[in-house]
Chains A and B, each alone.
Chain A
Amino acid sequence: MNSNIKQIVIDTLSQISDPEIPVVNIIEMGMIRDVLLEDGSIQVILTPTYSGCPAMRQIEDDIVLALEKKGFNDVAVKTVLSPAWTTDWLSEETKVKLKNYGIAPPLKSNPDDIFNIISMNQQINCPFCNSEKTELKSFFGSTACKSLYYCNNCRQPFEHFKCH
């Protein structure tokens, strides 16, 4: 019974897209860490992508609203910080979705690399023409999770989902 409800909840959550990257949902983003059921109440365990991501509050509201529509009235969203969110939680399918949407997907992160400050240039291929002739324009982009690149082959600016 409970596993049935849990599946409904997860299916519902997978309908909620990231407000800033509508092509992926919050499950694909790895933001839902768990769903706990107890005596008719539902607790959704959520982890933020970036500390200051302004989409978090909207996502919390979206979760409560979507589950209310399915008839779940006792819903709480709990935010946890540990383990810290990483782009390594994005599946290969999700990365393909990002690329097709025009965002170069993240490479694998290297958490041990914390003191390698200056020399961390990575090869990011253009999501449009796959060229390697790209250059970093700014590490900071339209949202905390993206940086700005330019493709010198197809002459398109594009965004890269930062490896985090």
Chain B
Amino acid sequence: MSDIIRNEQDDVFELCLRLGDDCLILGQRLSEWCGHAPILEEDIAMTNIALDLLGQAISLYKYACELEGKGRTEDDLAYFRSSLEFRNSKLVEQPNGDFAVTMLRQFIFDSYSLFLYDELKNSTDETISAIAVKSLKEIKYHLRHSSEWVIRLGDGNEESHNRMNKAIQQLWRFSGELFEIDDLSQRLFEKKYMPDLMPIHQKWKVYVKDIFNKATLKFPSDDVFMQTGGRKGNHTEHLDYILAVMQILPRSFPQAKW
């Protein structure tokens, strides 16, 4: 196998980790609501969404392992990597906070996913394309759910409106990383494995502005300082705590079987 092809496979492997780690970590975060949600229907909704995200992560990890060809499985990627090896955005590892924070985090992520995956459908990589088509169906109703909550809370009473504004203040600085272009995403774009993130960012802004408008929330100005680093393995302290909970069993008993 030539070096060039090898490098391209490495790049697609990294892409699978970026996409898959976002799904896994956000799914794990949502699962923390199980048994604690404000109403039963929301408890069921958030765990349903967590399950979809876990399923998407499994598909992406399986493909990553296949590309890598070292015999690792999706479980190895989930349970036996340290936080330095995770490629998720910092947004998805942020704590659940109150319901407004959870819903805004979900809304930012779902809307990003919808526009990204709608383009990933056209990836020159057939497996990435197939995963995108499958995931899109699920992302669509996730986004419907989170959009409706942003509107309901923003345009609700004074308390819910203030909480949404606090959530925006807290989370907005993590939104830029989702659309960040680096050497890897540039190479993947040139080979048409993934789309250009710039137009996706524009579409995302239009959609989010429209929902914020309906929610009577102010869209933040462009000069908010954006956090970065997650895609290179530099995470906030929260990720290690998530991994501790998620990985404790397989790391304590590596031979354990369900």
Bound-state Cα–Cα, A51 to B27, Å? 13
Question: Smallest CB–CB gap between A89 and chain B, Å?
Answer: 13
Is A52 in contact with chain B by the CB < 8 A criterion?
Answer: yes
Task: State which residues 42-66 of B face A: CB under 8 Å.
Answer: 44-45, 48-49, 51-56, 58-59
* A84 with B137: CB separation less than 8 A: yes
A51 touches B48 (CB 8 A): no
| CB of B199, distance to nearest CB on chain A (Å) | 15
**Cα distance A74–B59 in the bound complex, in angstroms:** 25
CA distance A97 to B29 in the complex (A): 37
A12 part of interface (Cβ distance < 8 Å): no
B-chain residues with CB within 8 Å of residue A51 when the two chains form the complex: 52, 55-56, 58-59, 134-135, 138
Give CA–CA (A54, B47) in the complex, Å. 13
Assess whether A82 is in contact with B51, with CB atoms less than 8 Å apart: no
Segment with Cβ contacts to B, from A62-70, A127-135, A139-147 = A139-147
Q: Name the residue among A54, A81, A115, A164 with the largest chain B CB count within 10 angstroms.
A: A81
Give the residues from 24 to 45 in chain B that come closer than 8 angstroms, CB to CB, to chain A.
Answer: 41, 44-45
The 8 A CB mask of B117-155 against A (1 = contact, 0 = none) is 010000000110111011111101101110110000000
Query: Are B144 and A117 within 8 A (Cβ)?
Result: yes
Question: A83 CA to B136 CA in the complex, in Å?
Answer: 13
Q: How far is the CB of A108 from chain B (nearest CB, A)?
A: 14
Q: Complex Cα distance A118/B214, Å?
A: 11
Question: Top 8 nearest A-B pairs by Cβ distance?
Answer: A52-B55, A51-B55, A82-B130, A138-B41, A140-B45, A52-B51, A81-B130, A140-B48
Residues of A within 8 A of B (CB): 48, 50-54, 80-85, 114-115, 117-118, 120, 137-142, 144, 148, 162, 164
For the complex with contacts A82-B126, A114-B140, A138-B44, 13 further pairs of A-B residues with Cβ separation under 8 Å are A50-B52, A51-B52, A52-B54, A52-B55, A52-B58, A54-B51, A81-B127, A82-B134, A83-B133, A84-B137, A137-B41, A139-B145, A144-B51
Q: What residues of chain B have their CB less than 8 Å away from a CB belonging to chain A?
A: 41, 44-45, 48-49, 51-56, 58-59, 114, 118, 126-127, 129-131, 133-138, 140-141, 143-145, 147-148
